[in-house]
Structure formats: structure tokens, C-alpha cells
Structure 1
Amino acid sequence: MKCIVNLFLLLMFIPDSDIPMMEGDILIHPRGRSAINCVSCLWPKSADGTVLIPYNLSSGYSQQQVSLFQNSLQEFHTLTCIRFVPRTTEKDFISILSTGGICASFIGRIGGEQQVYLDSGSCMSRGTIQHELEHNVHRSDRDDFVTIMTQFISPDKIGNFDKMDTNNVGLEYDYGSVMHYPGNAFSNTSGQATIVPKPNPSIPIGQRIGLSPLDVSKINRLYQCDDSGLLLNSANGTVTSANYPSTYPNNSTSVWLIRTPSGQVSLQFIAFDVQFSTDCVSDYIKIFDGPSKASPVLLDRTCGMGLIPQLISSTSQMLIEFVSDTSITATGFKATYTSGAFYAPGKNFTSPGYPAAYSPNMNCIWKITAPAGYKISLTLHDFMMESAPNCIYDSLSIYDGADTSSVLMVKYCGTKSARTFNSTGNAMMLNFISDKSFQYKGFLASFVFVSAT
């Protein structure tokens, strides 16, 4: 699946809430403390190098939402030394609460019980959960990188753009941070941005898919994490062992978390040469179907030479672990990954974010190819998008073939009941488009392969 994503998702907030907040989702401590560049605001580091943050999760979440919450935590655990752990008797802890449409958090550790508000109806997406858990927002060098268009901001919202004394930990400005406001945040004029990047105004800013690579680097520098992983968050890319095609180092462990914007992950090896040992007890690669080593195993310990067959995840996340011992190395591996909807009869797939609202300015493509001798039966189970004549704003187009030159079976918008579409050949393409205004929950679909005879 090719998915060109410009995420301009507004932070969830309740302007009339009685809970004191600044910047839309930052809670103000009763004692007036809201420190940013503050060493005492960091959570303490354990002797083993991890940073334990105890939490309580309220009972107001469904099992599906609890699973999403746990999945969101796993990216912190895999890529940084942060560990969110269920609270037992710890004095300082965070309390995750569902209430009143609010997504909000304090900044840093304030001591005792501190609330994080994640409304079960409006805040339960991976990026929003991670945003509130990470909360370390604007940088004090902001004006070097963006222009704040105050003429398009209501006076009562200007405070949301106050600068803070932040610890920038020596890293470049991250337009794609999960912490960054979108370009039209708090705009009072339709079509007018309140935040314009410098020097290129067209740079996409703000997203709620999940942590960015620089978000990960920021956390690791702030907490001086020793062992961390690499996040690969594009729709496709390449991953190689250290120093490839030269020999990889001895006595090392590396992890790569692939998290595509949507769809599944397909991993194809181009080269593989890892020291052989019985049962791969020395050097090895291991691959997991998810964001952590607790996820199901796609490929158990593998070593030696020869290409590994294509691997496909069940979600948009795949974890690669590569370990070498203290002796004998080889050239390692090179692999490419892509995202898409791959063969898995009966598999569901959705618009990004479903059942929460999809994002503005999206252009996503799903290409489904059946084996020779088979056709595709696609069912739309749930469908809700912005309605307009000729679907000129948001739409889902279904083609009876591999690309847009194929026969257009249907172009949908608005609200539709369940319906099934059958291809005449072994290929089908879906193209989902959203504009900059009005977002709905999108669609839920599934497909199966049926014999052509």
C-alpha cells in the first residue's frame, strides 16, 4: 500500500473544561509548577539503566482500548529505556483517566499521583496516547523554524502558542514529532494556517501516527539511555546490519522497529550472511509480528547463508532483532520493506485511524493481488465519509484491476450500507482520499480469494 500522509490532526481539547490547562492539553499543577527545562522533573533511573514509570489504568476502557494502550507503550519499551509498569505501592505514579472528551497531561514528574486524561471516545489512538505520555512540547528555539500567524488565532487561544524554556538536547527541530501542533491548530479562519514552517512552508508538520525517530532520540538523550532501537516509520525503506556490506561488529544487539503509516509490513531479504552455529546460539536474526519481543514470532533464530523467504506482518508493525557474540562475524544482511494489504484470506483492513476519524489531506492506495487462477471478493462492512456531490472532497474509489487505468467499479462517499464487490481478474485497487476539512470514521473492509473456475 502506498500512503501519502499529511497529518494535520488537531489536539483534542475542551475549551470550556473546568480543568485548568494551557496549550490545549497541558495540565496546570495546583501549585503553579509547570517546569520544562527541569532536572528534578525527570523520572528516576534504576540501577539497570531503565526508567520505571508506574501507572494505574482506570476501568473505563474497553478490552480493545486496553490492548491499544499496551501497544502504544511497547514502542517506548522497545526503542528507549522508558518502562511503563503497572503501579503496586509506588508513591509517584500516573493515573490514566477517561473523562469528558479531554486529552491532557502534566509535563514531567510532579510527584504523587498525577493525572493523564485519555477520553475513551476521542483520545484512543496510538499517536494521541503517546503524545500525552511523552508530553514535552514546544522548544525555546521555535521561532527559528516556524512562523506563528497570530492574525489567524483568536485572542483567547493565543496562550496556546506561548514559548517554553525547553531542553532541546542538541537535536534538530522535528517538524514530524508526535508532539508537534498541526499547521492549522486553533485557527479561527478556514483554510488559514497558524503555524508555517521555515524556510519551506510546504513541509508537513504534526502527526498522530506515533513516535517519530527524533522523538525516540530526544527521549534517549534526555534520559541517557544506553541501549535503544531504531524506528523506521516510512511506507517503505531498507534495513541493513551495522557496517553492511562490511562485517558487522562482535558482541552487539540491534533492534529495528518498522512501523508503516498503515497496512501490513512485507519484508524481503536481498542478502543474508550470518555466522552459522548449531541452533543459531551465536549470531542470529529474529523477527516478531508486532512492536516488541513479546509479540508473536514471525521468524525464529536464523543464521548461516541463503535468502530468507518473504515475511508479512499482520499489522503495520514488525520488529527485527539482530545479535552477534564475541567471535566470528560475516557481512550480515540487507532487506527492503514495503507496506500494503497482502494475502491473508478474510483479513480486515481499514482507513487509517478507524474507528476514530481519519486525518485530513490523505491519499492512500491498497493494491490486492490474488494468486493465479483466483479472483478477489471485497466486502465493505462499515462506511462513513464526508458527503458531497460526485464525492469531490473525501472518497473511496475501487478499481477492477491493479491501477487507476482499470475499470472504476465505484466511487463512494457519505454513509453506505455493507456491500460486496467481485473482481473480474486477480487484481483490485482501492484509493482513499480526504481533503483538509471534515473527517469521519472511514471504512472497514475485508477480502477473500475465490477460485476463478
Structure 2
Amino acid sequence: PRTVRLSPNFFLLQTLPPNSLTQPSITLTLQSSPLGDILIHPRGRSAINCVSCLWPKSADGTVLIPYNLSSGYSQQQVSLFQNSLQEFHTLTCIRFVPRTTEKDFISILSTGGICASFIGRIGGEQQVYLDSGSCMSRGTIQHELEHNVHRSDRDDFVTIMTQFISPDKIGNFDKMDTNNVGLEYDYGSVMHYPGNAFSNTSGQATIVPKPNPSIPIGQRIGLSPLDVSKINRLYQCDDSGLLLNSANGTVTSANYPSTYPNNSTSVWLIRTPSGQVSLQFIAFDVQFSTDCVSDYIKIFDGPSKASPVLLDRTCGMGLIPQLISSTSQMLIEFVSDTSITATGFKATYTSVQCGGAFYAPGKNFTSPGYPAAYSPNMNCIWKITAPAGYKISLTLHDFMMESAPNCIYDSLSIYDGADTSSVLMVKYCGTKSARTFNSTGNAMMLNFISDKSFQYKGFLASFVFGESLGSTIHKQM
């Protein structure tokens, strides 16, 4: 067996030479440290600035990286792993694919108690350690899969405070010759160490940004826009998506408010730091065609086109109702054909605690945490929109909230329409038996509010669409 040293730095998917190993796999003796996560080749050989060492590119322009996933992960952890891969697939030409017979592949292992990886492709089987107890977050998974660009110009942008680093940890800050692909330094990279990494003195930073020491550095939420740009430049990816990772922002079609280009496809992945994504359109003008077969927008409840559809193909003019994802990720796809164009769209997004936007013909949904107690200080909105000519039948199956006169503390308000200017059907609190509410039109909105004290299990609700439902408006209670 060969012994390797664990020596972390921040890298991306660059590689050691594929011919640097004569055997298809390596037995590792891991020497871990609190943040250590780089497996260094036993011969000490590095090719971080080596173009020929990249994973090979397929004829279709994608870069396939085969992997085996250990059986030691729960189904929930497997789902998290797959979700973490989807950001690479949506935003870059990298494709992590289950291994079949490929000679070179990565082996994802749940043992070892550490998070660690080699720097890119080394040939044969190479291990990536993602401990099932401590490494299963999206940012950590992406960090280990993305080990390839450590910047040799680091000292132009940060100061390493060696006086606060123990001698046995100073090797973690060694620099290597790298390909910086002509991009600016990324303080917010998912690969970057936090400011206090390996500090031996409480309250003292080991990495201080230049020229502004207060710049936030390091995060494990997910890929940064510059992480995406680095991968795409390194592998010369042709088509890629745009990542929007702020808590709020604006997204527009190309050239807006001028006409968008012909024969193009664009995708935007919105990923807020927390909560769920709320998308509100300000303007919408897309060439109309029957069934929107020409130009259209389509929106997914997640990071890929395999995610559930929030809004199916939509075109024409007029505003789209507010959309709320079920998680912190929402994907927008915009497609134009070779003929007529229009001005396109403009929308704003923000992070919300909870809520949803439903267009399916039926669904069950609950207050956050149900049947456990909801959280304090919540303000959640659910919007239900049926096709034109349909109505909505909403049933509250279970209901328990803090009781108070006029429901001044915790409450659920149900509106017969798309917003709070619509008729208030009911305002509920306390404990209620099952009851059904029918809309007069094709929209309904629910607003759930909790204050800082006394939380209960909340509610369980469901809805269905119908063409001839009766109209039931309840008075405020």
C-alpha cells in the first residue's frame, strides 16, 4: 500500500497526469486535519497547470466524469448528492455519470470520517471521501467534486497570518502553480477557506482579504458564479447557464427591452442563500404560437430540467402570476426559434421563508414543519392558479394555531383571488374542524402568519380544480 499526505488547499477540477499511476487504484493511509481535504499523489507530482491532464471532452462537447456511489448513504443523502450534481450539469459542460466499464472514475466513499478528494483525474479508480455524518451538504459535496483551480496569485488578494497557524498546519497554505483562466479572484468561491481556517488563536483570522479585510470569504452554500466561469473556461464549454446566487435580484431576456435574438436557448439558475425563491414578472412579451411551439419560457422547481415543472411552456403577452419554488433553487429556460421575436421578459426574484405557487390540478400541502410545530415569526403565501374557466376547491383537513380575538397573533387568511386585494373568504386561528372553500374564479391565495410566541402544528390542506364547482364565500371568523 502507498501512503499519501492529506494537505488541503482550495482547488477546482484540474488534474494529475493520467499516466502518473501504474496501477488502477491506490490504497490510502489518511492523515486528517480539521479542514484537510486534498489527497496528494504519493510521488508528490502535480500538474495543476497542465492542459493535457483534464478529463476528456466528448464529441458532443460534454465532459463525462464516471462515478461509483457507496451503498453507505441513506436515500435522503443520495437525493442530496444528485441535487448537488445538477448544478454542474445545468451550468457547465461537466456531467457526472454513473460508472459502467470506464477505466478512469471516481469512487464516492462514506467511510473515513473526513471530506477529502484528489485534485482531478489521476487515472484508474480515485477516491472521494464524503463522510455520511459530517460531509453531506450541497456546498461540501460540490467542494470535493470541484477540486481543480488553486490560484498561484493568491498573495495579491489575501494575507496569510502565519503567526496564528500552528507549524504542523502551515503546509495547508502552500501555493501551487495554477491556471487562473484570466478571471478575477473569487473570495466567495465554494472552494475558498473561511477566514479562520486552522487558526490556533481564538478570534484571530488566518486569511485576511486585501485591500478590504471585511470582505466575506468562503462559503459552503454552493457554486459561485465565478466557480462556474472557471470550469467553463477551463473546459471551453460552449453553452452554459447563468447562476444568480444573491438573496434578491433581477433577470431579463437577452437584449431586453430590445428584441431578444433568434434561434437561442438561455437558462438561469436562481439559488437563494436560504428559504425559497419567489419570482415576480414585471414585463412579458414573447412571440405567440399555438401551444407555444416557437418561442417560450418554462420554469422548473429545482436546479435542472428534470425537476418538477412550475410553469409549462408559456408565450404571448401579459404578466405571469407570482411563482414560488419549494426549495432555494429555481430554473428558468427561455427558447426562441428562427423567426419572429419580441421584447422578452423582465422579472425580479427574492428569498421567502415559505409558501408556494401551484398550477397542478391537485395537491396536498401544509404549514412549515407540520405536524410538528411551525416556527415563530413566519409570513408564508401560497398562490393557487387554475386554467381559465376552472375554479378551485380547497379543503382544510386539519387545523390548529394559537387562538386569539380577531386572530391577531397567528392566523391563516384565505382570499378568493390572486392577492390580498381579493375578497377575504376567512381568517382562521385556534382549532377548526375540516372545511371546504370554493373559489368564484380561477385563483386563490392563502397567507399564514405566526408571531414570536406559542407555536402549534398548523394545518394540512389540499385542493382540486373543477369546471362547475359551487361558489362558497365564508365570512371572516
Which TM bucket (shorter chain)? 0.7 to 0.9
Q: Indicate if the aligned counterparts of 2:32 and 2:114 stay in contact, CA closer than 8 A.
A: no
Q: Indicate if the aligned counterparts of 1:288 and 1:297 stay in contact, CA closer than 8 A.
A: yes
Distance 2:245 2:399 in 1: 27
Secondary structure of the structure 2 residue equivalent to 1:341: strand
Runs of 5+ unmatched residues, structure 1: 1-5, 11-18
Q: Indicate if the aligned counterparts of 2:300 and 2:308 stay in contact, CA closer than 8 A.
A: yes
- CA positional deviation for 1:38: 1.5
Describe the superposition over 1:321-364 as per-residue Cα deviations: whole angstroms up to 9, x where unpaired: 00011111100000011119999999999999999999999999
- CA positional deviation for 1:32: 2.6
Q: Indicate if the aligned counterparts of 2:287 and 2:316 stay in contact, CA closer than 8 A.
A: yes
Secondary structure of the structure 2 residue equivalent to 1:22: coil
CA change 1:382–1:163 in 2 (3 A) is farther
Out of 5, 10, 23, the position equivalent to 1:7 is 10
CA change 1:348–1:22 in 2 (3 A) is farther
Q: Indicate if the aligned counterparts of 1:250 and 1:329 stay in contact, CA closer than 8 A.
A: yes
Distance 1:196 1:229 in 2: 32
TM-score scaled to structure 2, two decimals? Answer: 0.70
Secondary structure of the structure 2 residue equivalent to 1:21: coil
Please name the residue that 1:383 is paired with: 399
Q: Indicate if the aligned counterparts of 1:79 and 1:228 stay in contact, CA closer than 8 A.
A: yes
Higher gyration radius (CA):
2
Out of 29, 53, 61, the position equivalent to 1:49 is 61
Q: Indicate if the aligned counterparts of 2:11 and 2:148 stay in contact, CA closer than 8 A.
A: no
CA change 1:62–1:31 in 2 (3 A) is same
Runs of 5+ unmatched residues, structure 2: 1-8, 14-30, 466-474
Distance 2:131 2:80 in 1: 13
Secondary structure of the structure 2 residue equivalent to 1:217: helix
Out of 401, 414, 417, the position equivalent to 2:417 is 401
**Structure ranking higher on relative contact order (CA contacts 8 Å, 6+ apart):** 1
- CA positional deviation for 1:164: 1.1
- CA positional deviation for 1:31: 3.2
Q: Indicate if the aligned counterparts of 1:22 and 1:160 stay in contact, CA closer than 8 A.
A: no
- CA positional deviation for 1:138: 2.7
Q: Indicate if the aligned counterparts of 1:7 and 1:362 stay in contact, CA closer than 8 A.
A: no
- CA positional deviation for 1:262: 1.1
Distance 2:411 2:113 in 1: 28
Distance 1:358 1:251 in 2: 47
CA change 1:253–1:431 in 2 (3 A) is closer
- CA positional deviation for 1:156: 0.6
Secondary structure of the structure 1 residue equivalent to 2:427: strand
CA change 1:28–1:441 in 2 (3 A) is farther
- CA positional deviation for 1:29: 1.7
Distance 1:129 1:272 in 2: 37
Distance 1:203 1:223 in 2: 29
Secondary structure of the structure 2 residue equivalent to 1:421: strand
- CA positional deviation for 1:90: 0.1
Find runs of 4+ consecutive structure 1 residues off by over 2 angstroms.
6-10, 19-23, 30-35, 340-449
Distance 2:248 2:143 in 1: 24
- CA positional deviation for 1:147: 0.5
Distance 2:154 2:117 in 1: 21
Please name the residue that 2:35 is paired with: 23
- CA positional deviation for 1:100: 2.6
For structure 1, which segment, 428-437 or 295-304, has the greater mean C-alpha deviation from structure 2 after superposition?
Answer: 428-437
Asked if residue 364 in structure 1 is aligned to residue 367 in structure 2, the reply is: no
CA change 1:159–1:425 in 2 (3 A) is farther
- CA positional deviation for 1:404: 22
CA change 1:112–1:331 in 2 (3 A) is same
Distance 1:155 1:417 in 2: 67
Q: Indicate if the aligned counterparts of 1:36 and 1:165 stay in contact, CA closer than 8 A.
A: yes
Describe the superposition over 1:55-109 as per-residue Cα deviations: whole angstroms up to 9, x where unpaired: 0000000000000000000000000000000000000000000113210000011
For structure 1, which segment, 390-399 or 61-70, has the greater mean C-alpha deviation from structure 2 after superposition?
Answer: 390-399
CA change 1:280–1:398 in 2 (3 A) is closer
CA change 1:390–1:30 in 2 (3 A) is farther
Distance 1:341 1:328 in 2: 31
Q: Indicate if the aligned counterparts of 1:138 and 1:180 stay in contact, CA closer than 8 A.
A: no
Describe the superposition over 1:344-393 as per-residue Cα deviations: whole angstroms up to 9, x where unpaired: 99999999999999999999999999999999999999999999999999
Q: Indicate if the aligned counterparts of 1:399 and 1:408 stay in contact, CA closer than 8 A.
A: yes
Identity of aligned residues (%): 98
- CA positional deviation for 1:446: 16
- CA positional deviation for 1:136: 2.2
TM-score scaled to structure 1, two decimals? Answer: 0.73
- CA positional deviation for 1:121: 0.2
Secondary structure of the structure 2 residue equivalent to 1:338: strand
Q: Indicate if the aligned counterparts of 1:8 and 1:183 stay in contact, CA closer than 8 A.
A: no
For structure 1, which segment, 317-326 or 367-376, has the greater mean C-alpha deviation from structure 2 after superposition?
Answer: 367-376
- CA positional deviation for 1:417: 26
Q: Indicate if the aligned counterparts of 2:248 and 2:348 stay in contact, CA closer than 8 A.
A: yes
